[in-house]
Every structure is written in structure tokens, then in C-alpha cells.
Amino acid sequence: MWIPKKFAYMSLSEAHILLREIARGKRSEETVPVFQAYDRVLAEDIISDINIPPFPVSHVDGYAVRSEDTLQASINNPVSLKVIGRIYLDEVYRGEVKSGEAAYISTGCALPNGADAVTPVERVRERGGYIEVLRPLHPRENVIPAGADVKKGEKVFCTGHILRAQDIKLLIDLKKWMVKVFRRPIVALFSVGSELTDRFEEADKKKFDSHSAAISILISEAGGVPMSLGVVPDDTNAIISKLREGIEKADVVVTIGGASIGEKDYVLEATKRIGESKVVIRGIKVQPGRVTSLCILNDKPIVMLPGHFQSTLVGFYAILLPLIRLLSGLEPEEPCLTVRARLTRKIVIREFLSFDRVRFVRLMKVLGNYFAEPILGNSSIASVVTNSDGFIIVPCGRDILEEGEEVNVHLIRGLYPFK
Amino acid sequence: MWIPKKFAYMSLSEAHILLREIARGKRSEETVPVFQAYDRVLAEDIISDINIPPFPVSHVDGYAVRSEDTLQASINNPVSLKVIGRIYLDEVYRGEVKSGEAAYISTGCALPNGADAVTPVERVRERGGYIEVLRPLHPRENVIPAGADVKKGEKVFCTGHILRAQDIKLLIDLKKWMVKVFRRPIVALFSVGSELTDRFEEADKKKFDSHSAAISILISEAGGVPMSLGVVPDDTNAIISKLREGIEKADVVVTIGGASIGEKDYVLEATKRIGESKVVIRGIKVQPGRVTSLCILNDKPIVMLPGHFQSTLVGFYAILLPLIRLLSGLEPEEPCLTVRARLTRKIVIREFLSFDRVRFVRLMKVLGNYFAEPILGNSSIASVVTNSDGFIIVPCGRDILEEGEEVNVHLIRGLYPFK
């Protein structure tokens, strides 16, 4: 099959439809202990087998009483009740509160039989084994009914939910010791370029590959397991060998660099020489990053990211991030938090008008309001990204964003610290 | 020294001043490989030893020329230049471009001696070893000067900077193989309560401790290293023993539960029986969470978090999170991302008017705008937090927030997935 080097730029919405197709049937599941399930994506609905609390419990430290005993209580006509016992959290209390009686109860303890309300400790005074109640209590006053927190049979979480700290707590409360989650896709990656090295001994003569380290972090934060395969020179056979290794070991293979139309861009040629290769995306309508491509090789997606770092990041955001999300059980749309901010200065973009254009910005907070400072510089300037926290997407057709205009700043795990 | 059980509620700004005092002198540093420095906090300024790029490089694929040769070039009067060589990224080119000459050059390659501009490959055609230039080139046209990205001697990052993916890339480019970062503080924690267990065998009879798992995740995401010491009963000697273990092994000790004024709240008593204990914070002006306290014991901070889960989280946010931040080299203020959102319904709070009140909310995005849905329920209801992503802080004095009002939603790593 002939592989065209030239581009046929695809919009992101079209690309996402294709990515859904590619991911279909490729997700798999695993069962992990709940204590290791943080930040994983549920692959099952969680239904509670129990009520929380399992029985009516006191909401306060106080005295458990029968509310009917207190119907006539007032300041002038206090109702005197005999304290027959004391209930603490660590003990099972088997006594029953009968008419004319009360039991001291700590917050969170199960109400004793007979009692249906609790008068807070601040409202009464215990003297000589008796309390005096000064006002009527409603049935269930200061009582948390069984199942008030979670009901038996209730669906607590759905498939696709990302487990947060509070969810791990609830799963433990529900005694869900093992949970089914989507397996994190293994993402092999390597950088292409004869000028590059991954060996410290060569770091004086060649450029040490730094893209892989950054993209590995982003893969990991997106939910994948990065597997770095190092660096290969601009040589078709060397690229073929690494691609084969990646296809064998990983769910997704990522190449960085070498996939444009230049004389020494051999990645596309390498893919076609390996086996049944189908180029699915040959360029995207996003700049920087338009070189980003994807082919399917032996049923594995190969994502080709551009070599200039800003472009690499945009390619990651546009194609690799949604693919990893899909493979790990998440939706590809809205892949990150966005924050509304005002531009601190005008942006003029005359190039690639029919593309979405990405511009890196620094997010700043002044008196509780967010501002986005555009950090400009051509795509080979790495410090543009270092000076940024996030980016905005200027939709195709627009060439001017005004100072003070509201924009959505995209904040990606790995690029923004969220601390 | 006598320890008062009763509260002396402190505002968060006062508490933060004290936390700064407590953290002073307690930070320490370590040197780690750059490849393991992601999400760590720099403990040194990073000054570049090199220029990036190290020499002027071509911004495009094209031909390196002497701009003065092209001064007279026009469509009607093309300037013909002899192509004397080809420069690729992986080769060191030693030739010189003399008057009347040009050299093919790939993007990112060092400009050869003599040349000072590059004409893009799209603008010329090579034929029979010559190119024809159709318009004048400015000196440095399509050339990225040495140091354009980073200048030798430039301060690239300051102490206190959190290292993100793009920063790791730049550090590698700068050949900073080892970086000095703040050591992550070790935070020992245990839950207090005779009703609790941390043993699966007892999970049918007792409540399995689930707070520790959630708080451990939050500690880790805040930058600390959680060290769970399990569960102790409501028994002063047992608490003393765990506190001693924590003080010996960790930088901070956290207790969950048992620190209020109830009959069975023994944590404060335990601290005073160990050694020189100084209660620094006895309650905070935040509700839920007001029970949160802090003492210094043998020079180690002991943070006492309340036992009800919503209160535990607020205590974490108010005291433990800023303390961990300070110990790991960060500022305690603005400890998390906040997002402006509109309330989906009115909130009325009649209690604790002189306190800041925390209310948990679910953050929703509708057509690009954020809304905050209040999730109400008393502090013992764990599912309130499970149904939330973040929280708002209602400042003291206010009792009503209107539907549609703009609020700041606090999003904490661990409680919000940021994916």
C-alpha cells in the first residue's frame, strides 16, 4: 500500500470520531484492591450492598428518649427521665429505653430499642441519675435514619467514573475491597533524529532527548503507562525495529519527530514497510501540531507527534490524550479543565486561518480574577512552554483576539501543577 | 503543663502565621536526578550555563545564503547561487558559504560560516546545482539567534517552583542532570476510635477505618509522604504509644478523631502526657472542621483532625495542607486552584455566623460556563463529599448566598480529578 507523505488535514471533531472507532474493543479491565484504585477509572457500576448508617444513629452527644414521653415537656413542667445506661461507639448496647427512661448516647451510636429521638447534652442536665427535658422532641429529632448516607441497592458510582480520595473512602465504607477498573494502556514512545542521543556519554556531542521525558510524564498523568524505548536515528530500518518492539510490547506506539514531509522524515515509510499499515490521520487542522498523524499497524495505533516541542505538546493534546482517555474508559471530549480568563494583550494570528491555532499562555490570578498572558515565540522555542501554564485555542477563521477578551485556558495535568 | 480541652477558635490567617513559624527551619533539601524531579519543588535557583540554541540556527528547511548577495534580487532579476553543500541535523558541517554560494540547510541546523540568512525551500528551486533567489533577504531572516530560547547566565527557575513536564524537558536541555529539591515531609497518620479497625478480619464487627486512606491520598497529592500507622482505640496509653511512633518516624503526625471535648476524646490528654507539649491551635474559625487543633510535641507538629469526614477534609485544607506546603517549599496561601462558578441554588446558613463556613459543591460545566451545585447534608454524611468535586468558603458574617451568585470553587488535588 502506498503511503502519501503529503498532508490531508483533519479537524479534531473528525479525528475524535476516528479515535472512538480505533479504541473500540481495545479497552480491557482488571480488578485491583480498593487501596490501589485511586485515580483509576471504574469499569463497573458500584451498587451498595448495605445501608449507611446500617441503623438509626444519634447525630449528637445526648440522651436517647421516647419522643412521646416529652410531649408535655416545658420549662415550667419539665419531664424527668431515668438514665438507664450509657452508649459509646465501641460498645454494643443491648438495653431498651422504656417509657420514663433515657440513655446517654454518643454521636454516631445506634439508637437503642424503644428510643426514637435524642436530646442534645447541652439542653439537659443529668443529676442523681435523672435528666429533665424542658421541651417536646419530635420523633427522629437528632436521629440519622438508616440508609441516610447510602441506601442498600443504590447505585453509588457508574462505569467511567474516576476514583478520587473521597470515593476510595466510600468504597471502603461499602466494604468493596476489590474494584474493577480499566487497565491503563501501555504507551511505548521513542524519539527520531540522528542529532539525538539518550546516552549521557554522548550528551556533549549530541542533543540529549528531552521530549520523551516530558511526554512520558503527560502520558502517565493522562492515565497511560509510558514505556520509553529511547532514541533512533533518521534511518528507516532503525525506525522499523523500534516500531516492531513497540507494537509487540505496548497498546499504543508514539513516535516523536521524523513524520513530516522533509527529506529525512522516514517514519511514514517505516510504517508501510512493516505490515498492513493504514494511515488514518495524516495531519490535523491545528497549528502548531498540524504534522501529527496516526496509522494503524498490525491493529495497533501508532501516533506520530511532530518534533518541535510546542507542536509535540499540541499533537499530544489533540490526538494522543483523547486516545489514552478512550483506552482507559474516559470520554475524549473535554479532556481537561478549562478556566475562563481575560487576555492581557491582543493576539494577532495571520497564518493558518483555516486551522485551529493553539497559543500558550501563562495563567495569572489577580484579586480572584484570572488573566491569560500570551507567551509568544516560534514553535522551536522551548521556553515559550516553560513560561506557560496552559494554552488557548483560537478557532479557525479568527485572526484577532482583543486585549481583555475572555478566553478558555486549557489546563492539562503535567503542564499545570494544580497545587 | 495543663492542656485546656475547650476551644479558642483561631482565624485561618492567624493560623497561617503560626504555621510559618512552625515550619521555619524544618525544611530540608535533597538532590535528585532530573528524571525523577517531576512535581517536586525546587530548592535552588536554576541558572543556565549555556545558550539555547548554542549558535544561530535555521528556522526552516531552506538554503543558507549571504543576505548581501540577494540585495538586488527580484522576479525579473533573480540571483543565482551555487549550492555547495547540504546540512542535516546529524552532521557537523564545516564548509563556509562564500559570496555567490548557498548551502541546503534543515530546520534547526547551525548556520554555516559566512551565511546570515535562510531562504525557505518553498521560495526557490534547485536546478543543476544552482538556486535562483527572487527577492532580497534581510540579515538574520529565518535565523534563530544563539540564546534566543535561553541565554547563558539567565535565571530559568526560582526556588519554590513546582517542576512540570515542560520544566523537566528544559532542565534536560540545560544538562542539569541533578537538581536540588525540597525533601517531601513524611506525614504519619492514625485514626482514633474504639469502634474502628484496620483489620479485615474485624470488618464485620467494627467499622473499617476509611478516613486514613482518603487523607493519605490527599497528603501525597499535597506533596507529603503519607505513613499510615493504622488505628488506635479511645485509650490514652494507646494514643501515647502511636504518637511516640509518629514523632520518631515522621516530620508531622496527624490524628483523626478523638480531639474534641467529649468524654472519650483523649488525644489532647495523650499529647500532654508525652513531653513538652504546646497547644498552638485549639480550634479554628471554620465550620465544619472547627475542632481542628495543632500542638508541638518534642518539636514536631501534631495536627489533630476531626473525625466526621467533612470536618476531616476541612481540617486538612485549613491546617494540614498549608503545613505540608510550607515544609515542602511552597507558600501556604492560595493552596489550590479556584474556579469562578454560579450557584445553582440559594444557600442559607444560620449557624456559626462568626466562622468561615465550608460548603461542598459539585462543579458543572454548561456551554463553557461553570456552575456550582451545593451538596448539603450534615457533617456525618460521607456521600455529600462523594457527590462533590470541591467546596466554597462562605465568609463569616454572611448567612445567605443567592442563586446565580458567583462563588470561588476550591479544587484540591485528590478531591478533584483534573482529568
- Percentage of residues of chain B with pLDDT beyond 90: 81
Whether A190 is covered by a domain: the verdict is yes
Q: Does residue A192 share a domain with residue A289?
A: yes
Quick one: residue B396, left, alpha or beta (phi over 0 = left, psi -120 to 50 = alpha)?
beta
CB B268 within 8 A of CB B259: yes
Q: End of a domain among A298, A327, A356?
A: A327
Here the CATH number for the domain that contains residue A70 is: 2.170.190.11
Q: Does residue A318 share a domain with residue A246?
A: yes
Tens-digit pLDDT profile for residues B44-91: 999 999 999 999 999 888 999 999 999 999 999 999 999 999 998 767
Query: Could you give the ipTM of this predicted complex?
Result: 0.92
Here the CATH number for the domain that contains residue A276 is: 3.40.980.10
C-alpha cell at A34: 480498593
When pLDDT is cut at 50, 70 and 90, the band that residue B174 belongs to is very high
Helix (H, G, I), strand (E, B) or coil at A94: coil
Whether A345 is covered by a domain: the verdict is yes
CB B209 within 8 A of CB B231: yes
Whether B4 is covered by a domain: the verdict is no
Q: Does residue A235 share a domain with residue A137?
A: no
CB A352 within 8 A of CB A390: no
Q: Does residue A174 share a domain with residue A133?
A: no
Q: Does residue A248 share a domain with residue A209?
A: yes
- Please tell me the distance from the alpha carbon of residue B196 to that of residue B229, in angstroms, as a whole number: 13
Cβ–Cβ of B313/A385 closer than 8 Å? no
CA distance B185 to chain A (A): 16
Q: Which of A59, A89, A170 lies at the smallest CB-CB distance from B383? A: A170
CB A234 within 8 A of CB A258: yes
Residue A52 contacts B, CB cutoff 8 Å: yes
Write the DSSP symbol of residue A279: E
Mean pLDDT of A268-297: 92
Q: Does residue B293 share a domain with residue B267?
A: yes
Whether B314 is covered by a domain: the verdict is yes
CA atoms within 13 A on the CB side of A157: 26
Interface probe, candidates A59, A90, A169, chain B, greatest B C-beta count within 10 A: A169
Question: What is the per-residue pLDDT for B4?
Answer: 55
When pLDDT is cut at 50, 70 and 90, the band that residue B1 belongs to is very low
Q: Say if residue A29 is exposed, middle or buried (CB neighbours under 10 Å; 0-12, 13-18, 19+).
A: middle
Cβ–Cβ of B168/A217 closer than 8 Å? yes
Mean pLDDT of chain A, nearest integer: 93
Helix (H, G, I), strand (E, B) or coil at A156: strand
Q: Kindly report the pTM of this predicted structure.
A: 0.92
Q: H helices then E strands: how many in chain B? A: 8, 28
A window 122-181, beta carbon within 8 A of B: 144, 148-150, 156, 162, 164-170, 172-173, 175, 177
CB A165 within 8 A of CB B210: no
Q: Does residue B168 share a domain with residue B140?
A: no
Mean pLDDT of A129-146: 94
Show the CA angle centred on residue B13, arms to residues B24 and B376, nearest 5°: 125
- Percentage of residues of chain A with pLDDT beyond 90: 81
**In this model, does residue A123 exceed pLDDT 90?**
no
Structural domain count, chain B: 4
Here the CATH number for the domain that contains residue A365 is: 2.40.340.10
Q: Does residue A321 share a domain with residue A212?
A: yes
**In this model, does residue A3 exceed pLDDT 60?**
no
Whether A251 is covered by a domain: the verdict is yes
Tens-digit pLDDT profile for residues B230-252: 999 999 999 999 999 999 999 99
Q: End of a domain among A272, A300, A327?
A: A327
| Sheet of A101-105, strand order | A117-120, A62-65, A101-105, A79-87, A130-133, A126-127
Domain enclosing residue A121, as ranges: 57-144
Cβ–Cβ of B419/A195 closer than 8 Å? no
CA distance B132 to chain A (A): 20
Here the CATH number for the domain that contains residue A160 is: 3.90.105.10
**In this model, does residue B408 exceed pLDDT 50?**
yes
End-to-end CA distance of chain B: 49
**In this model, does residue A11 exceed pLDDT 90?**
yes
Cβ–Cβ of B144/A177 closer than 8 Å? no
Q: Does residue B355 share a domain with residue B292?
A: no
Closest residue in B to A211 (Cα) is: B169
Whether B1 is covered by a domain: the verdict is no
CB A104 within 8 A of CB A176: no
Question: What is the per-residue pLDDT for A1?
Answer: 38
Q: Does residue A404 share a domain with residue A290?
A: no
**In this model, does residue A6 exceed pLDDT 90?**
no
Q: Which of B166, B209, B417 lies at the smallest CB-CB distance from A415? A: B166
- Please tell me the distance from the alpha carbon of residue A390 to that of residue A185, in angstroms, as a whole number: 25
Mean pLDDT of chain B, nearest integer: 93
When pLDDT is cut at 50, 70 and 90, the band that residue A264 belongs to is confident
Residue A3 contacts B, CB cutoff 8 Å: no
Q: Which residues in B lie closer than 8 A to residue A362 (C-beta atoms)?
A: none
Q: Does residue B277 share a domain with residue B245?
A: yes
A window 369-398, beta carbon within 8 A of B: 369-370, 378, 380-383, 385-386, 388
Residue A222: enclosing H or E segment and its boundaries?
A: helix A211-222
Closest residue in A to B233 (Cα) is: A90
Of A4, A152, A135, nearest to A73 by C-alpha is: A135
Tens-digit pLDDT profile for residues B349-393: 988 999 999 999 999 988 878 999 999 887 667 789 999 999 999
Strand pairing of A369-374 and A400-401?
Answer: unpaired
Q: End of a domain among A308, A327, A346?
A: A327
CB B132 within 8 A of CB B125: yes
Whether B131 is covered by a domain: the verdict is yes
The residues facing B410 across adjacent strands are B338, B391
Residue A416 contacts B, CB cutoff 8 Å: yes
C-alpha cell at B386: 462523594
Whether B417 is covered by a domain: the verdict is no
Q: Does residue B258 share a domain with residue B118?
A: no
Mean pLDDT of B102-120: 93
